[in-house]
Amino acid sequence: MQLSVVIPVYNSQHSIGPLVQQLLQQLSDVTLEVVLVNDGSRDRSEQIIMQLAAAHPQVKAISLRRNFGEFNAVMCGLNHCSGDYVSIIDDDFQNPPTEILKLLQKAETEQLDVVYASYGRKQHSFFRNAGSWLFNWVVTQLMDKPRQLYLSSFKLISRPVVQEIIQYKGPYPFIDGLIFAVTRNVGSQQVMHEKRKEGKSNYSLRKLVSLFLNMFIICSPRPLRILFLSGWLFIFLGLLAVVFETVIIWFFEEYYKAEHIVWITLVLVMGLQFFAMGLLGEYLGKIMMTQNGWPQYVIKTKQTHNDREAA
């Protein structure tokens, strides 16, 4: 198997069928399999992907018991694919299937472990583009990622790296963090990015915040180190405020101004303490759920062409 295409599916009853048809037609020269993972859709996506798997021998369909999140659905797909290279694309047609060949050619020509798609012009909304910019900036600070590399959800991963990624069994996978934990042999390839043909993005503000927090906490211990250094900074500011208050009282006897300075410092310190408790709580909560064996995903049903023939 030369290429596996993993597609997390969520509420895509109108787009997933035509997308699979295009994949099979436009990538017919490649030994191909398509792995569809339904992530707890509320529409007919589950029935449609099962029908696609029954009709096409190259298609595997997996349905999860509930919505676990995009990264978890992708991890499920990575655990059930067999290609020498694995491409991950969205289910909304914004990544044209033929662009996968550009990533594949780049990986094979330059012997890269991972190739990320880069876009000359993104067709997302301003809100989504701003969120992507912030996400990439934070990841750059937390991980040793090249600053010019854009972490797109559209990417191609080699089989050896996939095998290392799927060793992670925790409930909070961050695919890009796992990639950079395994390899630095990473490149990018410019591809087309088209407008969404139907519907709207499934990423609500709540989901984006949850994704951001998971990435912020899971991929690096640096937030705790920053918090540690912030503690020393506020100790220094507190001592500086005391010295400043003493000087003001000694020379000018302006008690009220000094009290205002002290209160501002106390409020800042209290804010840091609450932030620290919240951050530590997030870490402890995720550690507890990992230790308790919280599932990464739970499969409800699977379907392949061979399964239907056997039945």
Low-confidence ranges of the chain (pLDDT < 50): 256, 309-311
In CATH, the number for domain 3-204+294-310 is 3.90.550.10
* Contact (CB, 8 A) for 38 and 4: no
Residue 44 tokens read as 């007919």
Q: Which pTM does this prediction carry?
A: 0.75
Q: Where are the domains of the chain?
A: 3-204+294-310, 222-291
Using one digit for the tens of pLDDT, what is the confidence trace for 131-141? 666 767 766 66
Q: What local confidence, expressed as pLDDT, does residue 9 receive?
A: 95
